[in-house]
């Protein structure tokens, strides 16, 4: 699996110009936005999702038969995609957090450091959940087709969210206000971590079943 | 080394049903026309496809249960699949280092240099011949006991083909225990390389013979209709009607040479076998 990880890091290096742009954009966002931790979330999730573009690279040159004949099983291949997206998300998170802290110190906003840092920690499990939802779909239907299906699913999800927001404004407002007051951020973080681990475990099992049945 | 017993695989109208055996230290060729089933057979050996029936054993293990450690003993090259062409040889070295315990970096880089393969150029900028050479070098980079090569010379000119075949000969000469299964539709490639040859046609093995026997005992007889009527047909394997009369394949060249000295006879070669055994009539 180590070899597959190295392969994906080499492939991701192709996007170096994009990373520089992302880096500059993060600096801009941390300076210009009220919530500095928003930039951390944005970068981490983008990095985790971007890591999945290596699936497209593998498909593009019909690499799969050859990759599956290397000393790695199809399950290793699937598992590696989870590890790789997590590592990418984590790398993006670390860089963004360091930049956020430096920006806040430069701006003299040292009072909100702890609050923003805590908010940033909540991003890690979310950055884990996002690829966990994408990987099985892309393994099943291929990177391009899988991404199309995901767009449709996300579209439906946000449409439902919009309908709920329109029809239940008072109820949801009261509910979230009460929830916000009752639950401590630390509890939310722990709940998010448990949820991320559960979703990832289920996602890995689904991916294993998909690659076990697949022919190359 | 490899044993395929009654392997069957169906894709719509195509039905593969084959048995074959590759012994340790032997080089076995798998020849046949495009779409004959060579790649399907090779993919089943590597566990890349699931057979509908039969069994495939590689180094004593069911091909579906091959582990990463087992696969370290294989060197594999496909004509249409390899590392992403966005990578460079430098990247490939990094990957192989982390993939194979026995990867010989110095020897690999030296071989790349000898083959004039640039280290820092993306593989997509390589010519067809350069890509083919690299695929074979990768297969030979980690002291694999078994090479499995699917059409490694496809699309190459005669010079590039010979270079690839020479690389394989050198690799096999380093250790007599090494085995190889190589498929090709360019049969002349295999004559100077293989100990024995399987010929596959329409998903079935139609011939298995030692290469020496093909070259020394097989022949193509060119017969006029009159001669065809009188000739002993006991040892004629396949007969085809031609504009001039008949083409007949035999595996008893000497018998016809001694008894019918006037018969026009071409020495046996694998190309003739393919033409005679796979012509649709």
- What average pLDDT score do residues B47-72 get? 91
- Summary mean pLDDT of chain B: 90
Cβ pairs A/B, distance under 8 A: 85
Taking the C-alpha atoms of residue A122 and residue A38, their distance in angstroms, rounded to an integer, is 11
Say which of B43, B46, B80 has its CB closest to residue A62. Answer: B80
Instruction: Using a pLDDT cut of 70, give the percent of chain A over it.
Output: 89
Q: Which residue has the higher pLDDT, B31 or A177?
A: B31
B94 to chain A: nearest residue by CA? A6
Positive or negative, the CA dihedral A57, A60, A62, A65 is positive
User: Buried b vs exposed e over A151-166: b needs ≥16 C-beta within 10 Å?
Assistant: eeeeeeeeeeeeeeee
- B242's tokens: 């031609």
Residues of B numbered 68-107 whose beta carbons fall under 8 angstroms of chain A's beta carbons: which are they? Answer: 68-69, 71-72, 74, 76, 78, 80-87, 91, 94-100
Residue A89's nearest CA partner among A196, A204, A214 is: A196
Contact B82 A63 (CB under 8 A): yes
**Rounded CA gap, A53 and B134, in Å?**
25
Contact between B95 and A10 using a beta-carbon 8 Å cutoff: yes
**Interface contact flag, B87 A61, Cβ < 8 Å:** no
Instruction: Give B2-55 pLDDT, tens digit per residue.
Output: 999 999 999 988 999 999 999 999 999 998 888 889 999 999 999 999 999 999
Q: Which residues of B touch A3 (CB under 8 A)?
A: 95-100
Kindly tell me if the per-residue pLDDT of A143 is higher than 60.
Answer: yes
Find the residue in A nearest to B73 (Cα).
A71
- DSSP structural state of residue B251: S
Most confident of A120-124, A162-166, A185-189: A120-124
Residue ranges of domains in chain B, CATH in brackets: 2-210 (3.40.50.300), 218-278 (no CATH)
Q: Is beta strand B27-31 parallel, antiparallel or unpaired with respect to B196-201?
A: parallel
Nearest CA to B85 out of B125, B141, B37 is that of B125
pLDDT digits (tens, 9 = 90+) for A7-56: 999 999 888 888 788 778 877 777 776 666 777 887 888 888 888 889 98
Beta carbons of A150 and A130 less than 8 angstroms apart: no
**Cβ within 8 Å of residue B139, ≥6 positions away:** B75, B76, B77, B147, B149, B152
A interface with B, Cβ–Cβ < 8 A, is: 2-7, 10-11, 14, 57-58, 60-66, 68-73, 76, 215-216
Quick check: B82 and A61 CB within 8 A? Answer: yes
Helical packing angle, A169-182 and A143-167, nearest 10°: 100
Whether residue B139 is predicted with pLDDT greater than 90 in this model: the reply is: yes
Average pLDDT over residues B215-243: 89
CA distance A161 to A165: 6
Chain B residues with CB inside 8 Å of A5's CB? 98
Query: Are A10 and B50 an interchain contact pair (Cβ–Cβ within 8 Å)?
Result: no
Query: CB–CB of A46/A18 below 8 Å?
Result: no
- pLDDT of B71 over the 70 cut: yes
Contact B71 A69 (CB under 8 A): yes
Are A72 and B85 an interchain contact pair (Cβ–Cβ within 8 Å)?
no
Q: Closest chain A residue to B147 measured between Cα atoms?
A: A69
C-alpha distance from residue B174 to each of A42, A188, B22, B178, B207 (Å): 55, 63, 19, 9, 30
Q: Which of B38, B56, B62, B95 to mutate to test the interface with A (most CBs of A within 10 A)?
A: B95
Which one of A18-27, A101-110, A169-178, B247-256 scores highest in mean pLDDT?
B247-256
Q: Which of residues 209-248 of B touch A (CB under 8 A)?
A: none
- Closest residue in A to B96 (Cα) is A3
Chain B closest CA to A46's CA: distance in Å?
22
Confidence of residue A173 (pLDDT cuts 50, 70, 90): low
């Amino acid at each position: 699996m180590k070899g597959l990880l190295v392969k994906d890091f080499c492939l991701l290096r192709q996007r170096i110009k994009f990373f520089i742009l992302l880096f500059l954009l993060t600096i801009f966002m941390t300076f210009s936005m009220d919530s500095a931790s928003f930039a951390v979330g944005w970068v981490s999730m983008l990095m985790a999702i971007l890591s999945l573009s290596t699936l497209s690279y593998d498909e593009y040159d019909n690499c799969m038969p050859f990759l599956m004949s290397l000393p790695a099983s199809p399950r290793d291949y699937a598992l590696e995609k989870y590890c790789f997206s997590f590592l990418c998300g984590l790398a993006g998170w670390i860089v963004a957090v360091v930049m956020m802290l430096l920006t806040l110190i430069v701006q003299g906003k040292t009072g909100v450091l702890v609050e923003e840092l805590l908010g940033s920690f909540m991003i890690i499990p979310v950055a884990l959940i996002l690829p966990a939802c994408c990987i099985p779909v892309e393994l099943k239907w291929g990177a391009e087709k899988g991404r199309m299906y995901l767009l449709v699913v996300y579209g439906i999800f946000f449409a439902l969210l919009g309908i709920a927001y329109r029809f239940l404004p008072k109820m949801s407002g009261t509910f979230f206000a009460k929830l916000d007051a009752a639950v401590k951020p630390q509890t939310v973080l722990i709940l998010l971590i448990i949820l991320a681990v559960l979703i990832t475990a289920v996602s890995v099992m689904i991916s294993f079943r998909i690659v076990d049945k697949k022919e190359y | 080394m490899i044993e395929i017993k009654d392997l069957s695989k169906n894709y719509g109208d195509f039905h593969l049903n084959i048995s074959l055996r590759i012994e340790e230290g032997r080089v076995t060729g798998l020849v046949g026309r495009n779409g004959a089933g060579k790649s399907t057979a090779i993919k089943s050996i590597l566990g890349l496809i699931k057979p509908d029936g039969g069994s495939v054993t590689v180094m004593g293990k069911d091909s579906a249960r091959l582990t990463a450690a087992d696969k370290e003993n294989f060197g594999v090259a496909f004509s249409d699949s390899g590392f992403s062409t966005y990578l460079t040889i430098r990247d490939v070295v990094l990957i192989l280092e982390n993939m194979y315990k026995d990867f010989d970096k110095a020897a690999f880089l030296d071989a790349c240099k000898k083959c004039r393969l640039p280290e820092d150029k993306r593989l997509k900028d390589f010519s067809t011949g350069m890509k083919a050479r690299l695929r074979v070098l990768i297969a030979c980079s980690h002291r694999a006991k078994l090479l499995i090569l699917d059409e490694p010379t496809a699309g190459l000119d005669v010079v590039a083909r010979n270079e690839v075949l020479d690389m394989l000969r050198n690799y096999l000469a380093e250790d007599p225990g090494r085995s190889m299964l190589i498929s090709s539709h360019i049969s002349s490639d295999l004559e100077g390389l293989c100990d024995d040859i399987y010929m596959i046609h329409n998903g079935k093995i139609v011939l298995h013979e030692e290469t020496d026997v093909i070259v020394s005992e097989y022949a193509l007889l060119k017969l006029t209709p009159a001669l065809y009527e009188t000739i002993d047909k006991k040892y004629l394997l396949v007969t085809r009607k031609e504009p001039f009369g008949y083409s007949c394949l035999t595996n008893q060249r000497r018998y016809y040479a001694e008894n019918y000295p006037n018969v026009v006879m071409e020495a046996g070669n694998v190309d003739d076998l393919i033409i005679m055994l796979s012509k649709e009539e």
